[in-house]
Chains A and B, each alone.
Chain A
Amino acid sequence: MTPNSTEVVRRSLGRIGSYVFVCVITLFFALPMVWLVLTPFSTSPSYRVPSPSFTLHNFRDVAHNPYALGSLKNSLFLALGTMVLVVVLAALASYALSRVRIPGRDALLYALLLLSSIVTGTATMVPIFVMIYQLNLINTQTGVVLVMTGGLLPAAIFIIKDFMDAMPRSLEESARVFGASPLQILRHVVTPVVRPGLATIAVWAVVNVWGNFLLPYILLQDPGKQPGAVIMFNFYDEGGQPDFGLIAAFSLIYSIPVVVLYLVINKRYGFRFQGGIKG
């Protein structure tokens, strides 16, 4: 064997090795997806990826479950409510923070950002519970929306402020010289220019609320008010065994809106975390 052919063999083996590695990793991450897509249609759902079979029986179970469909509505309400609050408040706050010079502004922003990860975190669950209880907002969806909004706002302000900073001041000044009022400037100029940023945080807020389990689990006791992420926790049969058919079918339904939302927003605006205008 010439040294040259040894090299070829060594390279081929290396390449085969790396492909095998990639395949194993891909399989590892793909399995739950495959499970999610196949199990809802399976006649014998279990932990395992099912052998091919087809039934809509599991979806009928979802439709007959007293809380399943209602919980989707709850999820939608919580997610959209939080999204609207976060987008509106973050837009106004970041515009002000971007345009007004106050000492310690950046420090304030960083402190908020740091604290926000604590607010909705596990560590503050007890104080949040007590606070919401004393505000008489326990077991109300408003309470969940407010706490979620509080937790998401700092990061949202942080992201949008970047878009606001990147917007040339001359755009606003130009509108001002033509006689536009501050509100008109915000509506005609600022909002459209930072729209990709607003779209990004809107989706981000929805996804965050949609997937959040802990907060609504603690703040909402009435199953009629709980969102999908919490309701799934109750999908057991009479024997205390998890009802895989129901769980799988519901999970699939539950994941579709987020995927669709992501695709729509991405197609319209494209996800961006940096502001600025292409010249």
Chain B
Amino acid sequence: MAGISMNGLSKVYPGGVVAVDRLDLQVEDGEFFALLGPSGCGKTTLLRTIAGLEQSSAGSLSIGGRVVTDLPPGDRNVAMVFQDYALFPHMTVADNIAYPLRIQKVGRTERRGSAEETANGLSLAGLLERRPAELSGGQQQRVALARAIVSRPSVFLFDEPLSNLDARLRLEARTFLKRLQKELGVTTVFVTHDQAEALALADRMAIMEHGRIRQIGSPREVFARPANTFVANFIGSTPMNLLDATVADGSLHLACGTIPVPADVRSLVHEGDTLVVGIRPEYLTMTPGEHDDGLRGTVSVVENLGTYALVTLENEAQTFGVVTGEADEPALGARCSAVPQPGRVLLYGAEDGELITAERTEQQEPAEAAS
């Protein structure tokens, strides 16, 4: 078991593209760590650099206290599950699972035993003699997991292992993966572009953009207090409302209404500042009719999402979303107000898009150190 530590790790491709830009990151022992970001943000490159499939351009990388920066992939004691599972099509399930042991020169009977044991643990018992092409997507994924587990690596690296499954299976596999990781207690780095997946699975996560980390934190922290507008936009199944506002008379004046400046940052904003107010649709409480203390608008779209509905309110230049219970769905064209729940209003600088917070220096440390 081992933690992963990166110091100033960079990967620059020959064409000059900076995929990973001077990253400092610690993944704790036994942690389920998610790397999240849009396509091309460098998350997969970072994972491949940890695996050793890409040679880092600068910085150092250690796994379990051992510097592995220049070691070939096979000497790093990591196991990787690829997006397409990379099962060897000409080998049976048993041979696939036992392959890492074959490379380690483990005897035939012993590796067969290990493969069977691992396969049983992942409910693959009856499938050992099949070829990968004869398995369903979910079974293939479990074979890939079994192959990763069998060599008892100190780190698991998962490259979007759920993205090739259909929606329902993905939920099952997600629960399964989380339970498995907790049982094995192996440090795991998980790459995904699906924020819901990262929130659901990870103990901690890093949100990346252009090869940099924009925020590191637990799913709860990242969801509740995105460190900047990029993260705010990216995290959450319904996008966060980001509305321009001006500070005047100790209040935030928006085109759609006026709300008080949150108490914790009152000392950090000044009269006349232009800011961006961030508030999740889930944290707005909607009431019919117009009220002074809240955001006002006309209902323009109602999207039913099962137990709740996403209501879009429009007012002059600003449009924002509110989540309401299924019982409170307003009629189209109705005038409504929405009041933020206490402590849920976030303020971002209009220029840099960074969160204005009393704990700013502390929270921003990793990102600041990287830049």
Contact = CB atoms under 8 A, between A and B. Distances in A.
A26 B82 CA distance: 53
B73 interface: yes
Contact of A192 (B73, B90, B103): B90
A178 B89 CA distance: 17
A106 interface: no
A190 to B, nearest CB: 10
A96 interface: no
Interface stretch (A28-36, A112-120, A169-177, A242-250): A169-177
B84 A177 contact: no
Interface in A158-205: 168, 170-171, 173-180, 184, 188-189, 192-193, 195
Interface in B59-118: 72-75, 78-80, 82-84, 86, 88-91, 99-100, 102-104
A204 B83 CA distance: 36
B84 A180 contact: no
Contacts of A170: 82-84, 86
Contact of A177 (B79, B88, B90): B79
Given A170-B82, A170-B84, A193-B90, A177 B51 contact: yes
Interface string A78-119: 000000000000000000000000000000000000000000
A171 B99 contact: no
A173 B82 contact: yes
A171 B132 CA distance: 13
Contacts of A10: none
A94 to B, nearest CB: 18
B133 A279 contact: yes
Contact of B82 (A174, A188, A277): A174
Secondary structure dominating the interface of A: helix
A195 B104 CA distance: 25
Interface in A119-178: 168, 170-171, 173-178
B80 A174 contact: yes
B40 to A, nearest CB: 18
Contacts of A175: 88, 99, 103
Interface in B187-202: none
A224 to B, nearest CB: 43
A64 interface: no
A278 interface: yes
A189 B74 contact: no
B80 A180 contact: no
B84 A168 contact: yes
B151 interface: yes
Given A170-B83, A174-B80, A278-B133, A179 B90 contact: no
Contacts of B51: 177
B99 A177 contact: no
A278 B131 CA distance: 11
A164 to B, nearest CB: 15
B89 A177 contact: no
A61 B158 CA distance: 70
Given A178-B151, A180-B74, A278-B133, A173 B86 contact: yes
A274 to B, nearest CB: 15
Nearest to B89: A277
Interface string B150-168: 0100000100000000000
A178 B133 contact: no
B297 interface: no
Listed residue (B79, B91, B103) with the most chain A CB atoms within 10 angstroms of its CB: B103
Given A170-B84, A177-B52, A178-B151, A193 B74 contact: no
Interface string B117-145: 00000000000000001000000000000
Nearest to B83: A170
B169 interface: no
Contacts of B79: 177-178
B53 interface: yes
B162 to A, nearest CB: 16
A127 B266 CA distance: 92
Contacts of B88: 171, 175, 188-189, 192-193
A168 B89 CA distance: 11
Contacts of A168: 84, 86
A180 B103 contact: yes
B130 to A, nearest CB: 14
A168 B84 CA distance: 9
Given A170-B83, A173-B82, A178 B90 contact: no
Contacts of A189: 88
B150 to A, nearest CB: 10
A189 B91 CA distance: 9
Nearest to A191: B90
A178 B99 contact: yes
Given A173-B53, A192-B90, A179 B80 contact: no
Contacts of A193: 88-90
A179 B133 contact: no
A188 B90 CA distance: 9
Interface of B: 51-53, 72-75, 78-80, 82-84, 86, 88-91, 99-100, 102-104, 133, 151, 157
Given A178-B99, A178-B103, A179-B75, 14 more contacts: A170-B83, A170-B86, A171-B88, A173-B53, A173-B73, A173-B80, A175-B103, A177-B73, A178-B100, A179-B74, A188-B88, A188-B99, A188-B102, A277-B133
8 contacts: A170-B86, A173-B82, A175-B103, A179-B100, A180-B103, A193-B88, A193-B89, A278-B89
**6 tightest CB-CB pairs across the interface, nearest first?**
A179-B74, A174-B86, A170-B86, A192-B90, A178-B100, A170-B82
